């Protein structure tokens, strides 16, 4: 009987941890989506600058575009 109680307690703890991991994963996905949106905005703005004959975008924009493509 004691083993069943211990198993039940461990199961509850594992379930709680799994729910926490799920929530954290969802938060990470939400943050990744926000970053992707921001990088797409940077890319769009950079393209507009290039099409308007503006200054060539700095290497930072190339890096952010590279990161965006991985998301």
In this prediction, residue 44 carries a pLDDT of 84
Per-residue pLDDT reduced to its tens digit, 1-38: 788 999 999 999 999 999 999 999 999 999 999 998 98
Q: What is the pTM of this model?
A: 0.57
In this prediction, residue 68 carries a pLDDT of 58
In this prediction, residue 11 carries a pLDDT of 95
- Max intra-chain CA distance, the chain: 78
Buried-exposed string 21-36: b where 16+ CB fall within 10 A, e elsewhere: eeeeeeeeeeeeeeee
CA atoms within 13 A on the CB side of 55: 4
Q: Which residue has the higher pLDDT, 8 or 49?
A: 8
């Amino acid at each position: 009987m004691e083993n069943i109680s211990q198993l039940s307690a461990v199961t509850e703890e594992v379930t709680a941890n799994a729910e926490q991991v799920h929530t954290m994963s969802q938060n990470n996905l939400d943050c990744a989506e926000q970053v992707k949106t921001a990088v797409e905005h940077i890319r769009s703005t950079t393209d507009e600058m290039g099409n308007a004959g503006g200054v060539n975008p700095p290497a930072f924009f190339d890096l952010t575009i590279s990161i965006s493509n991985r998301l």
